C-alpha cells in the first residue's frame, strides 16, 4: 500500500490517489500539546548550574537573549507554528540578538566565545526551537562555511549582510538518498568556461525556500572530491520546494532543492573546500551548537511545568499527576 500523506482537508489518499479511509492530518489539531506558548513563563532556576561557569559578559548576553526571546519572539510564534510558516517580520527582532556569525571575528560578526554562542542558542531554543534552528542554519552552517572555507573576497562580500540578517543563508549537504552517509553525495560540479555547472538534488535543507545565499556541497566531476559553492537566490536552473506536513520544527522551511545546470562563476567557488574533511570543522562547530538546543528546550519545559504547579485538578495540584512532573 502507498504511504499515507496529510492534506489540507478531506480523506487521506495513497500514492495512486485512492482513498485509504483515514482523515487527512491536521497537525495543529492532532497535536495541540505541541503548540508553543505565546506567553512564556520567566525562568525560575539555573537548572544546569551554568552561572558559575560564565563570565560577566556571557551572563549579560544570556540575559539580553532571554529578555528579547520572551518579550519579542514568544508572542508571535504560536500563530506561525499553527500555519507552518516562517514569521519573516521576526527577522529584525532576531537580528537584535547579535548572534549571527557567532564566533567569527570581523566582517560585522560578533566574535563571541564558544560558550556565549552555545548558551545563547539554548536561550532561544528555550522559547522556540524553530527560531534557534533558523539561526543555526544561517549562522553555524552557512556563515561558518564562508568564514572558515571562503576567500577573503567572499568573506568581505557575503558576511557583513548575513551578520545583520539583511540576507539569509542556507547550507545544502543532505540529498534524497544520502543523509547520515552524506559523504557519498551525488550532486555534481563540472568545470565549464568561467565557472562551474551544478546538477543534482538536495533534501531537508532548512531556509532553502527563501535563502538569498545558498552554500551548496557537490562532488567534483574530475577529482571526485567534495567542493563547495555559493549560489545566489534566483539563479537559473535552481528550484527549492517546501516540504509539507511536518510535525516537528514546523516554522523551519525545509525544502527540496533541484539543481539543473546551475552556473556558478569561479569567484563563488569556496576555495577552502577540496574534500569532505575540509567541512568537518564546520560540522564540529555546528554539532556543539545543536547539542545545546535540547538543553534550552528542557529548560523551557521545566519552566512551563513550574508554572502549572499552583493549578488544581480535583483538589490536587497538577504537579501531583505523573504526566505533569515538576
For 194-229, write each residue's pLDDT tens digit: 999 999 999 999 999 999 999 999 999 999 999 999
Half-sphere exposure of 252 (CA within 13 A, CB side): 22
- Distance from CA of residue 130 to its chain's centroid? 7
- Give the pLDDT score at 49: 87
Distances (CA, A) of 153 to 19, 79, 200, 270: 56, 41, 27, 11
For residue 125, the domain's CATH number is: 1.10.540.10
10 Å Cβ neighbour count for 16? 7
For 123-167, write each residue's pLDDT tens digit: 999 999 999 999 999 999 999 999 999 999 999 999 999 999 999
**Which position has the grid cell 508571535?**
76
Shared domain check, 147 and 40: yes
Contact 142, 133 (CB under 8 A): no
* Distance in angstroms (rounded) separating the CA atoms of residues 34 and 209: 24
The model carries a pTM of 0.83
Shared domain check, 207 and 95: no
- Residue 108 belongs to what domain range? 35-167+282-320
Contact 187, 199 (CB under 8 A): yes
Shared domain check, 181 and 120: no
Shared domain check, 200 and 59: no
Answer whether residue 326 is part of any domain.
no
For 116-125, write each residue's pLDDT tens digit: 999 999 999 9
Shared domain check, 195 and 107: no
Shared domain check, 159 and 306: yes
Answer whether residue 66 is part of any domain.
yes
10 Å Cβ neighbour count for 309? 13
Shared domain check, 153 and 70: yes
- Give the pLDDT score at 9: 42
Helix locations, 3-87, DSSP H: 27-30, 56-68, 74-83
For 93-108, write each residue's pLDDT tens digit: 999 999 999 999 999 9
* Distance in angstroms (rounded) separating the CA atoms of residues 119 and 143: 19
* Distance in angstroms (rounded) separating the CA atoms of residues 203 and 211: 15
For 227-284, write each residue's pLDDT tens digit: 999 999 999 999 999 999 998 999 999 999 999 999 999 999 999 999 999 999 999 9
- Give the pLDDT score at 39: 65
- Between 162 and 27, whose confidence is greater? 162
Residue 11, judged by CB atoms within 10 A of its CB (0-12, 13-18, 19+), counts as: exposed
Confidence of residue 306 (pLDDT cuts 50, 70, 90): confident
Answer whether residue 325 is part of any domain.
no
Q: With 60 as the cut, is the pLDDT of residue 8 above it?
A: no
Q: What's the total number of domains in the chain?
A: 3
Answer whether residue 41 is part of any domain.
yes
- Give the pLDDT score at 164: 98
* Distance in angstroms (rounded) separating the CA atoms of residues 231 and 216: 7
Amino acid at each position: 500500500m502507498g504511504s499515507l500523506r496529510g492534506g489540507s482537508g478531506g480523506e487521506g489518499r495513497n500514492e495512486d490517489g485512492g482513498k485509504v479511509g483515514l482523515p487527512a492530518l491536521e497537525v495543529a489539531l492532532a497535536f495541540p500539546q505541541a503548540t508553543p506558548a505565546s506567553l512564556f513563563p520567566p525562568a525560575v532556576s539555573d537548572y544546569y548550574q551554568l552561572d558559575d561557569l560564565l563570565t560577566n559578559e556571557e551572563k549579560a548576553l544570556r540575559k539580553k537573549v532571554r529578555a528579547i526571546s520572551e518579550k519579542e519572539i514568544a508572542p508571535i510564534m504560536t500563530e506561525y507554528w499553527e500555519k507552518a510558516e516562517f514569521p519573516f517580520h521576526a527577522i529584525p527582532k532576531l537580528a537584535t540578538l547579535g548572534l549571527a556569525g557567532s564566533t567569527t571575528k570581523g566582517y560585522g560578526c560578533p566574535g563571541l566565545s564558544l560558550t556565549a554562542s552555545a548558551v545563547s542558542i539554548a536561550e532561544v531554543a528555550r522559547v522556540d526551537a524553530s527560531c534557534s534552528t533558523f539561526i543555526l542554519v544561517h549562522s553555524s552552517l552557512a556563515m561558518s562555511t564562508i568564514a572558515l572555507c571562503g576567500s577573503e573576497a567572499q568573506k568581505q562580500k557575503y558576511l557583513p549582510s548575513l551578520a545583520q540578517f539583511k540576507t539569509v543563508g542556507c547550507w545544502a549537504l543532505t540529498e534524497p538518498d544520502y543523509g547520515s552517509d552524506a559523504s557519498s553525495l551525488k550532486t555534481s560540479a563540472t568545470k565549464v568556461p568561467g565557472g562551474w555547472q551544478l546538477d543534482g538534488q538536495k533534501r531537508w535543507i532548512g531556509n532553502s525556500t527563501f535563502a538569498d545565499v545558498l552554500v551548496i556541497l557537490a562532488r567534483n566531476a574530475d577529482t571526485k572530491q567534495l567542493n563547495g559553492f555559493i549560489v545566489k537566490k534566483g539563479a537559473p536552473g535552481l528550484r527549492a520546494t517546501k516540504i509539507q506536513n511536518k510535525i516537528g520544527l514546523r516554522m523551519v522551511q525545509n525544502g527540496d532543492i533541484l539543481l539543473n545546470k546551475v552556473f556558478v562563476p569561479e569567484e563563488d567557488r569556496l576555495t577552502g573546500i577540496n574534500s569532505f574533511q575540509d567541512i568537518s570543522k564546520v560540522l564540529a562547530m555546528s554539532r556543539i551548537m545543536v547539542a545545546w538546543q535540547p538543553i534550552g528546550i528542557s529548560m523551557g519545559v521545566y519552566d512551563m511545568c513550574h508554572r502549572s504547579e499552583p493549578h488544581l485538578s480535583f483538589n490536587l495540584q497538577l504537579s501531583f499527576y505523573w504526566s505533569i512532573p515538576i
